[in-house]
A and B are shown apart, each in its own frame.
Chain A
Amino acid sequence: MVTISRAIADQIVAHAREGLPDEACGIVAGRDGTATRFHPAVNGDPSPFRYSIESRDLLRIVTAIDDAEEDVLAIYHSHTMSPAFPSRTDVDLAFWPDAAYLIVSLASDPPDLKTFTIVDGRIARRELVIS
Chain B
Amino acid sequence: MPIKLRMPPILRPQIGGAREVEASGATLQDVLDDVFARFPGVRSHIIDDAGAINRFVNVYVQNEDVRLGDGLSTAVPDGGTVIVLPAMAGGAA
A contact residues vs B (CB 8 Å cutoff): 23, 25, 27, 41, 45, 47-53, 55-56, 58-59, 62-63, 75, 77, 79-82, 86-87, 89-98, 101
CB-CB < 8 A to B87: which residues of A?
Answer: 52-53, 58, 93, 95
22 interchain pairs, CB-CB under 8 A: A49-B91, A49-B92, A50-B89, A50-B93, A51-B89, A51-B91, A53-B87, A53-B89, A55-B58, A58-B58, A58-B88, A59-B85, A77-B91, A81-B92, A86-B90, A90-B90, A91-B90, A93-B87, A95-B8, A95-B10, A95-B56, A96-B8
The stretch that binds A, out of B27-35, B36-44, B59-67, is: B59-67
Neighbouring A residues of B92 by C-beta, 8 Å:
23, 48-50, 79-82, 87, 89
Interface centre among B56, B68, B86, B90 (most CB of A within 10 A): B90
Name B's A-contacting residues (CB within 8 A): 8-10, 56, 58, 60, 63, 65, 67-68, 83, 85-93
A59's partner among B9, B63, B86, B89 (CB-CB below 8 A) is: B63
Known interface pairs A55-B58, A59-B60, A93-B56; A47-B83 also in contact (CB < 8 Å): no
A55 CA to B93 CA in the complex, in Å?
21
B6 to chain A: closest residue by CB: A66
A33–B83 CA distance with the chains assembled, in angstroms: 25
**A58–B85 contact, CB under 8 A?**
yes
How far, in whole Å, are A50 and B65 apart by their CA atoms in the complex?
A: 21
